[in-house]
Amino acid sequence: MKEILFNDLGENQDYQKTWDFQETLLGEAVATKSRNREKEKQGNTDFEQTKNHLLFVEHPHVYTLGKSGHIENLLASQDFLSQIQATFVKTNRGGDITYHGPGQLVGYPIFDLDNFKPDIHLYMRNLEEVIIRTIADYGLKGERSKGETGVWLDVGKPYARKICAMGVKASRWVTMHGFALNVNTDLKYFEYIIPCGIKDKAVTSLERELDRKIPMEEIKDKVKNHFEEVFEAEIL
């Protein structure tokens, strides 16, 4: 069975430092694949196994803009960001602008898709499936919205709303970045951006939908369990 190495980085972890850590893990996997290619050229089949990692983290208030995003979707000035104790980072994932903060479970899978299936579209649908199954444990019907990555509630209705944003990058089939599931998130921070560049849809959280706070350890366990199911792997 495939293995995924799990690391919970905890609360209040700086976005840039966590991004750097992801880059380190991705770099290790890419280097392993490069060595394997050289061995293959030489007729050596003693290949090294790349490692798959899953990181969980909660960030302090930060807005991140994807490489294809539009800065005008940030509605706040730098002075205002300072007032609300938020920072802004341009990142190299796909997607537009989003928010990370306390009470939000951010997951960063650094997976070598050659260990699963080298298909980014399938990978994104599998990430969505993990979250869809997780929120189903709480009686919520998560859905996909055509052309809009992530997990939504009440798709096609005037009150459609996003509960989990996603954006990734891949290099030689090794992924980084991932998903941000709103658990007990302070949703007012989304008022200062156009989330994911989508103007006509709202954002929600498990806390808002269920009218109660959800223990973070509880939701982490559920997400991990569904990662094992969907990706047919064992989390260590």
List the catalytic residue out of 4, 55, 86, 196: 196
Cα distance between residue 191 and residue 74, in whole Å: 10
Cα 4 from chain centre: 16
Angle at CA of residue 69, ends 56 and 165, nearest 5°: 35
Supply 175's token pair: 């992924």
Q: Which segments of the chain does DSSP mark as H helices, in order?
A: 15-41, 78-83, 120-136, 206-210, 216-231
Q: Where are the alpha helices (DSSP H) in 42-99?
A: 78-83
Q: How far apart are CA 63 and CA 76, in angstroms?
A: 10
User: Which of 188, 198, 113, 191 has the alpha carbon at shortest distance from 150?
Assistant: 198
Whole-number Å distance between alpha carbons of 53 and 235: 9
Catalytic residue at 196? yes
Q: Which residues are catalytic?
A: 196
